[in-house]
Structure 1
Amino acid sequence: MSENEKKILILGVGNILYTDEGFGVRVAEELDQKYQFSPNVEILDGGTLGLRLMGPIMDADYLIIIDIVLNEGAPGDMFRLLGNDLQKACAFKNSMHQTDLLDTLAQCSLMGKVPDDVILYGIEPVNYKDMSAALTPELEARIPEVMETVLKEVEKAGGTYTLRTETNPATEKVYVPRDTSRNSGN
């Protein structure tokens, strides 16, 4: 990575055990498995780590967060949020992690190191309260579109990517599997 390249962090956050709450993590997993990124791009499953994300966030120049948001939209609506809009959307109390994310960004700011650009791609959830490793069918269907949007943001920030093939396979990682049987109509 050259000194002029921005360090880009793609951060999927959420709790994969509560239906759509895990959407951001699932998008990050898909991106990691399907694409190989330039050395200046890192993908991180932020789960519900809160303040433990300070290091990676402070190391980044360009932060792309993927999460669910309650933004008064219809279920499945996607929002690109910055600044005050990001704070408003992340400030709801029905989440186990989003207020932590704002606290983490605030702590990074106090330490004097917040990425120059912080963008949240949030999607309005259908269900984030029921315990299930499955996304709702509506949000499962939105994963490809959100991935494409994030890939465009990576390009805009100066990162590159290529589709993984047999010659550049994904490294083997163990993820909590999505329960897709719920989405098949069975």
Structure 2
Amino acid sequence: MGNRLSKIYTRTGDDGSTGLGDGSRVAKDSARVTAYGTVDEANSAIGLVLACDIPEQVRTVLVSVQHQMFDLGGELCIPGHAAIGDADIQRLEDQLDHFNADLPPLKDFILPGGGLAAAHCHLARTICRRAEREVVTLSHHDAVRPEAIRFLNRLSDLLFVVARVLARASGHGEVLWNHERRKG
């Protein structure tokens, strides 16, 4: 295992820079730091879902996803490092297909809500989408493996489907967008 932090503050970032995993230093507002920081934020939002009362099958998947998100953050923090692969993306697709199989087809847009766990899952989904956009922005400046972008794309889809599952499991049900409300 790598170095353990015995002292949390180092003062090395007081100048607005931070160290990457390869030892180089960059500005804290660089595209790379923004990208892996938002991956970390999405991971924290998934932690909020896990803090709720959710079905064990969903919990198992989301805990696994949290580990993969940490791997992805490491990949983004260490230029040239590879941690997410096609098998990780395939696993997300398989889980997505599994959870989606029992859901009714969508006929309307769904609003974020449907109980606390589902609402937290929708928040995690939107943060994941932002992380995806920021990784795409990073890819315009630096090399980013396409697997990173594909992983975030599939994960946000999985989080949408899981939010639907959680809304139904909670008894709140999905909150449908009422597009007819403005007529009349």
Structure showing greater Rg: 2
Q: State the TM-score, normalizing by the size of structure 2.
A: 0.29
Q: State the TM-score, normalizing by the size of structure 1.
A: 0.28
Structure with bigger RCO (C-alpha 8 Å, 6+ apart): 1
More helix by share: 2
